[in-house]
Structure 1
C-alpha cells in the first residue's frame, strides 16, 4: 500500500540545456547533496545573491562619487600649486630686479642686502 506524503509537494518538470544536468550533478556530488537539493539550494540562494549584488552596486556608486570628489580636490590643489609657482616666479623676478637696481644705485656691497636676497632665493617653489 502506497503512503501519501505528510506534506503535499509541488512537482515541476524542467528541461535543462545541454550539459546543465551534468554540471548540476557534479555540483550536487561535490556538495554532498541530491540533484534536487542542489537545484533547491541554488534557487534559494538567488534572492540573497541579488540583494548582495544590489548592495555592492550601491557601495560602488558611493565610492565612484567619492572618487569624483577627490578628483575635483586634486584639480583644485593642482590649480593652487600652479598659482603658487607663478607667484614664486614673479617674486624671484622682482627680487632679481630689486637686486639689480640696488647694485646699480649703491654698488651692492651691503652684507645685510646680500643675506636678505640669499634667504629669499633659497626657498624652493611648490611642485
Structure 2
C-alpha cells in the first residue's frame, strides 16, 4: 500500500475534535514519546484501556457482591 493510499484511508476514519484542559496536551505528548507512540496512538491506547478497566471493575464488583452474600450465608449457619 502506498503512502497516498494510507492518506486516503485515514480520511475514511472517524475524526473527533477534542478540547483539552491546559497542561494535558504536553502530558500526553510526554507519555506518547516515552511509549514510542504518536499522540493520537497514545490517546486511543488510553481510551481503550479505560474501557477495559471499567469492565474489569464491574466484574470485580459483581464478584465482591457474590462473595459478600456467601460470607453472610456461612456466618448465618455458624451462629
TM-score in terms of structure 2 length: 0.71
Unaligned runs of 5+ in 1: 77-127
Q: Distance in 2 between matches of 1:55 and 1:17?
A: 31
Q: Distance in 2 between matches of 1:51 and 1:39?
A: 19
Distance 1:71 1:19, change over 3 A: farther
Q: 2:54 aligns with which of 50, 70, 92?
A: 50
Count of equivalent residues: 73
Unaligned runs of 5+ in 2: none
Q: Distance in 2 between matches of 1:19 and 1:60?
A: 37
Q: 2:34 aligns with which of 7, 19, 30?
A: 30
Relative CO higher for 1 or 2, CA cutoff 8 Å, sep ≥ 6?
1
TM-score in terms of structure 1 length: 0.48
* Structure ID, larger Rg: 1
